[in-house]
Amino acid sequence: MRLYIKTFLLLTLFFIWSGSIAGASLPEFSDLAEKAGPAVVNISTVKKVERPEMGDFFRGFQDRGHPFEEFFDQFERFFGERERQPREQRSLGSGFIISQDGYVVTNNHVVEGAEEIKATFRLEDEEKTFEAEIIGTDPETDLALIKINTDMELPTLEFGNSEDMKVGQWVVAIGNPFGLNHTVTAGIISAKGRVIGAGPYDNFIQTDASINPGNSGGPLLNMQGEVIGINTAIVAAGQGIGFAIPSTMAEDIISQLKTDQKVSRGWLGVTIQNVDQDIADALGLEEARGALVAGVTPGDPAEEAGMEAGDVIVSLNGDSVEDSSDLTRKIGQLAPGSEATVGFYRDGEKKDVTVTLGERDLEGLAERPEPEPESEKADLGMSFRSPSQEEAEQLGLSEPQGLLVTEVEPRSPAHRADIAPGDLILQANGQRVDSTNDFFTILEEDAKPKQVLMLLVNRQGQNIFRTIPLRD
């Protein structure tokens, strides 16, 4: 009997202890939600959008000589002008107040093109709605700063340090999904540094805290109630996959928008691509890391500092550069006019150069052709020759140089490497080629021993690198 009582007491103590441990491991969010919630605002906007022309809908029938063609013509004649009048489009999003003078952070896509913006939040158990104006936007990171004007004492949120956050730590999202004001969801940080193709400065925090349409622009909070991210994107086909802009990136951008109503970023003046293993082998690099310079824009900072196509940038101001996206973010965080030390490899030798950065110009960039995407890995089957003077002029060259690709066999190594007729080969494995003898000498003496041929190709004025593996 005494043994049974002792066993019962031990089991009871164990369950009490295990229950307390389990309870202690689960956080409590009510205080955080109560304190942070009032500073989260519901943003509603009104935009004017063009209506589609009715003729666009019917034209497919008309082109085929549809029997109702005359009816469609009369319908458009009577109603077409009316239908083309702009219509109002209303949308919802979220934001949060960061200062007593009424500044509110949100996403650019929430307020872009809006003719009317209203911010609604809860204050002393009452909902308050204010007209808001756009102070500044940054489409490249999808951030915006808007402002409301009031003499009332406003609740605010402060930025925390997203760099200090670790994968697996708890986070809380507050926003207005589907217009449901002040919805609180919780989860963990699933990953950091996500690149999802949203823009050149992708560096998202991934979270499984529930984020839905309407959450855009709302805060992602740590357990101290600090903003460590701005909720921005979701994977529509998945659940529990949301993305937030890190606070360490957002805070600097918001500060610039508040002061200058725009964001100024450093500019190096190079086109870059990632270094894969074939490129690393061709250049004799120990590891596939860094940003390969495919082209240098004439007159821009990189050219003035002596950088060339084929350089592999591996560090910036002493910090390691992992890939092209990493370099883009690091350069963008520096101010125009500042000096930066760029570390790179050229012909197997490590070099450092000091570059005075320019300013990133979105309008100028829009006029330049986008870099070609990286090719699929491949293995030769092409014909080439030196270009004529006329062909060189058509390619924008003052005199003939390089080798002009005239034919590429289907399913050949060159074809699989995305080499195309009309491409101008400027370099092979980092060495200039101006004759077929140059090309075949490099192929036999350098490329085959390395088992990879790397070509610098000019295509419609844009320099790109292509690699052809030569492994048996």
Q: Which residues are known catalytic residues?
A: 109, 142, 216
Which residues make beta-bridge pairs with 205?
244
What are φ and ψ of residue 93, in 5° steps? Answer: -155, -170
Per DSSP, the three-state class of 447 is helix
Q: Is 321 helix (H, G, I), strand (E, B) or coil?
A: coil
Look at the block and give the residue holding tokens 């004759």: 435
Name the 3-class secondary structure at 347: coil
Determine whether 443 is exposed, middle or buried from the number of CB atoms within 10 Å of its CB (0-12, 13-18, 19+). Answer: middle
Separation of alpha carbons 135 and 262, rounded Å = 9
CB atoms under 10 Å from CB of 42, counted, come to: 23
List residues bridging with 343 in a β-sheet: 315, 352
Residue 119: is it exposed, middle or buried by C-beta count within 10 angstroms (0-12/13-18/19+)? buried
Q: Enumerate the known binding-site residues for substrate.
A: 109, 142, 214-216, 232-236
Rounded CA-CA distance 268/58 in Å is: 50
Q: How far apart are CA 40 and CA 175, in angstroms?
A: 7
Q: Please name the amino acid found at residue 323.
A: D
DSSP string of 25-74, one letter each residue: HS---HHHHHHHGGGEEEEEEEEEEPPPPHHHHHHHHHTTT-TTHHHHHH
DSSP string, 234-301: E-TTSSS-EEEEEHHHHHHHHHHHHHHSS---EE--EEEEE--HHHHHHHT-SSS-SEEEEEE-TTSH
Nearest partner of 200 among 141, 263, 120, 127, judged by Cα: 141
Residues near 397 by beta carbon (within 8 Å), at least 6 away in sequence: 387
- Between CA 94 and CA 92 the distance in angstroms is 7
Instruction: Show the DSSP H helices in 121-270 as ranges.
Output: 247-260
Q: Report helix, strand or coil for 363.
A: helix
